[in-house]
Amino acid sequence: MNPALHRPALFLAILALVVIVSGAYITSTEVAARLSQPDVFPALNQGLHRALAIGLTLLTLAFAIWTAITAAPKWIRWLSWSGVATLALAAALGLRTPPLSPAAAVRHALLAHLFLAIIAVIVVGTSAAWSRPPELADGPRKPLLKPAAIATPPFVLLQIALGALYRHDIASVLPHMAIAMGVTFLAIIVSSVVLQNYPRPAALRRAAVALISIVLAQVCLGIAAFLLLLLNYAGTPYFIPVTVAHVTVGAAALAASVVMGIEVSRGIPSRRA
């Protein structure tokens, strides 16, 4: 493990989640205000969200510079600067005079989710397990496992995009629900195949447990949020926590799916020795 990079990357991941939570709270209160009384929920100061986002951007820039100073691997440096570029694009959208247009708000949210996935890969890539030679899985060959694991992140991102389009009244909820079922099925299959066939490496199994747990939690939160809307409970104290958690866990699902794809590609040989 490289503590000089791993700990700052872990801090950036936590701060990114805080920024996503604050942004999701703003969006959820706006949705609740459209569906109920405007003053049911206390609004979050836009300045707080922007201050957190600016702080995250500056710290990510400092981290990217630090990767060059510490002679980090080239792919870590590339990912770090990609994170800076992602946050810069998100800031260019988020710093516009509120309220943002629905299309700009969707792009802003997607960039925040992408940044969390990028920083999650950096956290894994600077961990102790990654610094050791890869431990190859010993088990039956599953030719479709790698393609399925690699295909999962794009489908998760599509699901997130459709959810953002629905929250901002651009699209119906039906495409989001349809893709959600496909993502759930794909994540369960990939994780179950790993857990049933490969007792090692431990990092691969941890990634599988994380992915299936987060995706199932995401589905439960999505169902809860939809039921609250159907039952006209958007003006109750339960709506905001559920919808904020749904958005936040969705971001975590994207990060977990990316890590899962990396661990499968790294730990499972292309063909049996």
Q: pLDDT of 62-100, one tens digit each?
A: 999 999 888 788 999 999 999 999 999 988 887 766 667
Q: pTM to 2 decimals?
A: 0.89
pLDDT tens for 39-56 read 555 555 677 888 899 999
Mean pLDDT, range 154-170, rounded to an integer: 90
In Å, the largest CA–CA distance within the chain is: 65
- The one-letter code for the residue type at 213 is S
Count H helices, E strands: the chain? 9, 0
Both tokens of 86, joined, read: 């992602």
Query: 3-state class of 179 per DSSP?
Result: helix
With a cut of 50, say whether residue 272 has pLDDT above it: no
Integer Cα distance of 126 and 259 in angstroms: 13
- pLDDT of 70 reads 83
Integer Cα distance of 84 and 165 in angstroms: 25
